[in-house]
Amino acid sequence: VPEQQTRLLNKAAKDKGVGIIGPATVGGIKPGCFRIGNTGGMLDNIVMSRLYRPGSVAYVSKSGGMSNELNNLIARNSDGVYEGVAIGGDRYPGSRFIDHLLRYNDNPNVKILVLLGEVGGADEYEVASAIKAGRITKPLVAWCIGTCASIFPFEVQFGHAGALANANAETAAAKNAALKEAGAHVPDSFFSFGDKIKEIYDGLVSSGSLVPAPEPETPKVPMDYTWAKRLGLVRKPAAFISSISDDRGEELKYSGMPISEVFAKEIGVGGVLSLLWFRKRLPSYATTFVEMILMISADHGPAVSGAHNTIVATRAGKDLVSSLTSGLLTIGPRFGGALDEAALMFTEASDCGHEPEQFVKDMRKQNKLIMGIGHRIKSLSNPDKRVEIVKEFALKHFSDNTVLNFALAVEGITTRKKANLILNVDGCIAVCFVDMLRSCGAFTKDEVNELIESGCLNGLFVLGRSIGFIGHHIDQKRLKQGLYRHPWDDISYLSEDM
């Protein structure tokens, strides 16, 4: 705090009868009650210095760092600290040595006073005068640090703003001598400061003037997490776990494969997807098939619900992410979301050894739709080219097409009833994807089932169709299309008058 502001603060505090510690201070502590600032340090140091319960010694210091040393010295050489304050080393502290020492002297719980002064200023002389005048009657152990300043041939400015002797009387040696003459207990050096505290303490105990309180049980303090983590004693529990990518090293890795290797081996989008979705590197024909699915499912014109929603949102002025989300939210059992269910339905029937005709009858009895069967436009006489492409690729490259063959057998039965009850593109992709996973050699049968149940097939549709939705958004922006309003003549209005 700037000195001018400090002086204004001190005046305001004095007018209001408020005491200030500092402002340049580490704080103060009253063991067993509270601490202000960071006095005492970490919890383990507080326990070691027995600052969890009051002792009989009260101290005042300018230095915050040395106040922590006093906590340690007093704990080792007496029954501990009753109260301690570091007033700070600025030239205009909010409180002075004498303010705190008089408080301590008047407190019946305090038996020994400790003062740690320093070179510079004259506050210690005020303390010496109080001793001579009988205002301070309790034993005071005092020392002014900075006695080494006399060995320098020039004036030395120590760390604090006020730690500079502007006259001989402000040197540490002169103030130590004055305090000793007044009756304070001043050791020969700081090295014996703790011994002097112990000497006074033992004398008071021997005379019966000080009766140490029974030592309470030492509290169990949890280990400081930051400190323990730095030493490798503990580890932070993970907020979540990821097994598919790692960006901590020199380069990004996908399931252990460095990004440079991804490009060097030209594994393509299908290879990256297999690493991130399946944590496996699939054969090239399998990654090609994945890319085929994305290309086939990328778009199906502007009339389908997802594209329609995307276009309407775009024309309403929404951004790309909002428009894309509007389209994606239409994906479900009736639009694009049937792949997982078709895969599960056909796979389960095939694995159970059901005959295709019996499977169709059972589904009819249960009044259930066969997911992946049926198309509004395409039929036996007007086949879906996308289905033909997927089917031909699977029959050519996959070593096992069990589920596909079962689905084609079901199609042969359903189309007898109606020509458009064909294996549609969703169903064809679903069954071929199961055959691909099972026959590529990278997964067990249980792993394939788990992948299908996790929703990866619908994920492929979402990923692929996002390409088209984004395309429609960009297309509408490019065409500068305005707000869409559905034509009223395309709506059947039902009114009570009818």
27-30 and 81-86 as β-strands: parallel, antiparallel, unpaired? antiparallel
Average pLDDT over residues 377-402: 95
Instruction: Grade residue 166 by pLDDT with cuts at 50, 70 and 90.
Output: low
Average pLDDT over residues 187-207: 95
pLDDT digits (tens, 9 = 90+) for 399-408: 999 999 999 9
Identify the residue with better confidence: 220 or 131: 131
CA distance 47 to 84: 16
Q: Match 């009850």 to its residue by tokens.
A: 421
pLDDT digits (tens, 9 = 90+) for 36-57: 888 887 777 888 889 999 999 9
pLDDT digits (tens, 9 = 90+) for 453-469: 999 999 999 999 999 99
- Residue 244 pLDDT exceeds 50: yes
Instruction: Grade residue 157 by pLDDT with cuts at 50, 70 and 90.
Output: low
Instruction: Grade residue 281 by pLDDT with cuts at 50, 70 and 90.
Output: very high
CA distance 275 to 91: 66
CA distance 138 to 334: 91
Beta carbons of 106 and 224 less than 8 angstroms apart = no
Instruction: Grade residue 29 by pLDDT with cuts at 50, 70 and 90.
Output: very high
- Residue 498 pLDDT exceeds 70: no
Q: Which of 160, 375, 397, 472 is catalytic?
A: 160
CA distance 278 to 459: 12
> Is 472 one of the catalytic residues?
no
Peptide bond into 23 cis (omega under 30): yes
Q: Match 């506050």 to its residue by tokens.
A: 123
- Residue 303 pLDDT exceeds 70: yes
Average pLDDT over residues 310-321: 97
Average pLDDT over residues 411-422: 95
Share of the chain above pLDDT 90, in %: 71
Average pLDDT over residues 1-8: 82
pLDDT for the residue 149: 66
Instruction: Please classify residue 170 by burial: count the beta carbons closer than 10 Å to its beta carbon, then call 0-12 exposed, 13-18 middle and 19+ buried.
Output: buried
Q: Would residue 2 be called left, alpha or beta, if left means φ above 0 and alpha means ψ between -120 and 50 degrees?
A: beta
Instruction: Grade residue 160 by pLDDT with cuts at 50, 70 and 90.
Output: very low
- Residue 94 pLDDT exceeds 90: no
pLDDT for the residue 191: 93
pLDDT for the residue 447: 95
Beta carbons of 96 and 87 less than 8 angstroms apart = yes
Beta carbons of 463 and 481 less than 8 angstroms apart = no
pLDDT for the residue 126: 94
pLDDT digits (tens, 9 = 90+) for 145-156: 888 766 665 565
**What CA–CA distances, in Å, run from 321 to 85, 99, 152, 289, 483?**
59, 66, 72, 28, 18
Instruction: Grade residue 168 by pLDDT with cuts at 50, 70 and 90.
Output: confident
Backbone angles phi and psi of 88, in degrees to 5: 95, 160
Closest C-alpha to 61, from 141, 170, 171: 141
CA 103 from chain centre, in angstroms, equals 46
pTM over 0.85: no
Q: Which residues contact 62 (CB under 8 A, 6 or more apart)?
A: 86, 87, 88, 89, 93, 116, 117, 118, 160, 162, 163
Mean pLDDT lowest among 373-377, 429-433, 484-488: 373-377
| Mean per-residue pLDDT over the chain, rounded | 91
CA distance 73 to 75: 6
Identify the residue with better confidence: 164 or 43: 43
In sign, the C-alpha dihedral spanning 360, 362, 367, 370 is: negative
- Residue 328 pLDDT exceeds 80: yes
Backbone angles phi and psi of 115, in degrees to 5: -125, 125
